[in-house]
Amino acid sequence: MDDPGQAPATASEIPPPLKPFAPGPLGPLRAAWFGVSAFVWTFVAFILGLPFLLTHPKTGGEGQWCTRIWASGVFALNGLWIRVHGREHLDRRTPRMFIANHSSFLDPPAMGLMVPGRSRFLLKRELLKMPFVGWYAKLSKHFLIDRSDARQAMALQQRAVDQIRTRGHVPIIFPEGTRSADASLAPLKAGAFDMALKAGIDVQPVWIEGAYRRMPRDAMYPRRGGLVHLYVGPPIRIEGLAGSAGRRALAEQAEAALRALEAQARKA
């Protein structure tokens, strides 16, 4: 394990993305294949996951299995695998808020495969309008965020806190707020940590390495084959943290933890 105080990797040390498009006509063809196969597989995964979603429709049932079915297909169709480092830090008996860096379309399926328990993503409310994805998000009770309406955002956050407390749902959040264009870690949004403080759960940091190299933000399809590594760090305790000052302190600790995991991944 690297010293948490070690300086983070510089931009020049970040591995560049593998070339996302093949020469000639193969690039557009591969992009079309990825788009069609992803859409079809999303439909199939939704149908296969319905029994898990409908076991308890008012609570979202065992919707995490629908996520895992979908994520497994996305990775299998593209010859991708995940490798988890730091499994000893995971505890499925204790709900925690999982946070991770975000630089690729492949990040959510990787986290969906790795996070134990009744995992649920924090999703933008606009996704409810998408076929299959929106239906699945609604049925499985994923956490929603609405940045256009502050009052609605507060109500949605309270609903998420209630889900964590009463149903044991495990939130997965990308606290940078958007995908990074160059795989560097952006400052974390302190507001993302309100949920952990209000629900009374610790924060589990995860660094995703390799997803950006296979599918950077603007790529239309992933580079086929290879590993996506997930480096799991020890949980960040929230004991003694509260209010806006506690939220900022938690965000700072989380960012430091992610940078330490980033340094560990770069040295591996």
Q: How far is CA 4 from CA 29, 49, 207, 264, in A?
A: 44, 40, 14, 9
Residue tagged 């003694």 (tokens): 240
Distance separating alpha carbons of residues 250 and 238, to the nearest angstrom:
7
Amino acid 136: pLDDT = 87
- Give the mean model confidence (pLDDT) for residues 42-48: 91
155: amino acid identity, one letter: A
Average pLDDT (25-45) is 89
Q: How far is CA 213 from the centre of its chain?
A: 17
The count of other CB atoms within 10 Å of the CB of residue 170 is 22
In a domain, 4, yes or no: no
What is the number of structural domains in the chain?
A: 1
Q: Which residue has the higher pLDDT, 156 or 118?
A: 118
Residue 5 located in a structural domain:
no
**CATH assignment of the domain containing 182:** 3.40.1130
**Residue 236 structure tokens:** 């960040």
1 domain residue, yes or no: no
Which is higher by pLDDT, 106 or 166? Answer: 106
Q: Tell whether the model's pLDDT for residue 36 goes beyond 90.
A: yes
**Better-scored residue on pLDDT, 17 or 128:** 128
For residue 182, pLDDT over 70 is answered with yes
DSSP 3-state of 172: strand
pTM above 0.85, yes or no: yes
Mean pLDDT, residues 246-261 taken together: 96
pLDDT at residue 174, as a whole number = 96
**What is the model's pLDDT at position 5?**
38
Whether 59 shows a pLDDT value over 90: the answer reads no
* Range of the structural domain that residue 140 is part of: 21-267
Nearest to 124 by CA among 101, 143, 139: 143
Percent of the chain with pLDDT over 70: 91
Q: Is residue 217 in a domain?
A: yes
Q: Is the pLDDT of residue 2 over 70?
A: no
**CA–CA separation, 191 vs 198, rounded Å?**
12
Return d(Cα 157, Cα 144) in angstroms, integer: 8
Residue 13 domain-assigned? no
16 located within any domain? no
State both tokens at 104: 């690729």
> How far, in Å, CA of 53 to CA of 108, rounded?
19
- Residue 235: HSE in the Cβ half-sphere, 13 Å Cα cutoff: 17
Secondary structure element (H or E) that encloses residue 141, with its range: none
Q: Is residue 87 part of a domain?
A: yes
The pair of structure tokens assigned to 200 is: 């009374």
pLDDT attached to residue 16: 66
Q: What residue type is 14 in one-letter code?
A: I
pLDDT one-digit tens code per residue, 167-177: 899 999 999 98
**DSSP letter assigned to residue 215:** S
The answer to whether residue 14 is domain-embedded is: no
